């Protein structure tokens, strides 16, 4: 088990372009989360999947943002028509089923997005 992986690690894009990030959770984890972290701040929740179902979305997730987890394994986060304010680190985390009773989340290395 290699932990949570995210690709790409860095992305530089021009304003107005679309970008897509990928997250591969720990294999037996059915819960997957996306967070956004700006410099010097704590991560802010964006969305949550349990298996393939998207169960929670933050108000931070505007209509330019969409996330999917089609087969309950990897997840993608797409940002359309990027804006400079979208520049941030996008973190993915996963956790085991709720029956484990721990609720610990394991984070990936993040994708750093820079919008120019």
Partner 1 sequence: AQTVTQSQPEMSVQEAETVTLSCTYDTSENNYYLFWYKQPPSRQMILVIRQEAYKQQNATENRFSVNFQKAAKSFSLKISDSQLGDTAMYFCAFFEGGAQKLVFGQGTRLTINP
Using CB under 8 A, which of 20, 66, 72, 109 touches partner 1?
109
Nearest-approach distance from CB 101 to partner 1, in angstroms: 9
Q: Which stretch binds partner 1 (CB under 8 A): 17-25, 48-56, 64-72, 73-81?
A: 48-56
Token pair recorded at residue 35 = 């967070």
Q: What value, to the nearest 5°, has the Cα angle with vertex 42 and ends 91 and 32?
A: 30
| Residue window 53-72: x/- pattern of binding to partner 1, with contact defined by CB under 8 A | --xx-x--------------
The CB-side HSE value for 55 (13 A sphere, CA atoms) comes to: 11
Nearer of residues 6 and 82 to partner 1, judged by Cβ? 6
Give the phi and the psi of residue 86 in degrees, each rounded to 5. Answer: -80, -10
In whole angstroms, what is the distance from residue 29 CA to residue 14 CA?
34
SS3 assignment, position 22:
strand
Q: Does 40 bind partner 1 (CB under 8 A)?
A: yes
Minimum CB separation of residue 87 from partner 1 in Å reads: 17
**CB of 66 within 8 A of CB of 52?**
no
By the criterion CB under 8 A, which residues form the site for partner 1?
31, 33, 35, 40-45, 48, 50, 55-56, 58, 91, 93, 102-110
């Amino acid at each position: 088990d290699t932990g949570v992986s995210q690709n790409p690690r860095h992305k530089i894009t021009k304003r107005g372009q679309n970008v897509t990030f990928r997250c591969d959770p720990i294999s037996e984890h059915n819960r997957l989360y996306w967070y956004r972290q700006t410099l010097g701040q704590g991560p802010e929740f964006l969305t949550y999947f349990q298996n393939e179902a998207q169960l929670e979305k933050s108000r931070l997730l505007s209509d330019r943002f969409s996330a999917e987890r089609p087969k309950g394994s990897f997840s993608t986060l797409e940002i359309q028509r990027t804006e400079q304010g979208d520049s941030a680190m996008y973190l993915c985390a996963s956790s085991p089923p709720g029956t484990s009773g721990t609720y610990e989340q394991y984070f990936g290395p993040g994708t750093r997005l820079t919008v120019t």
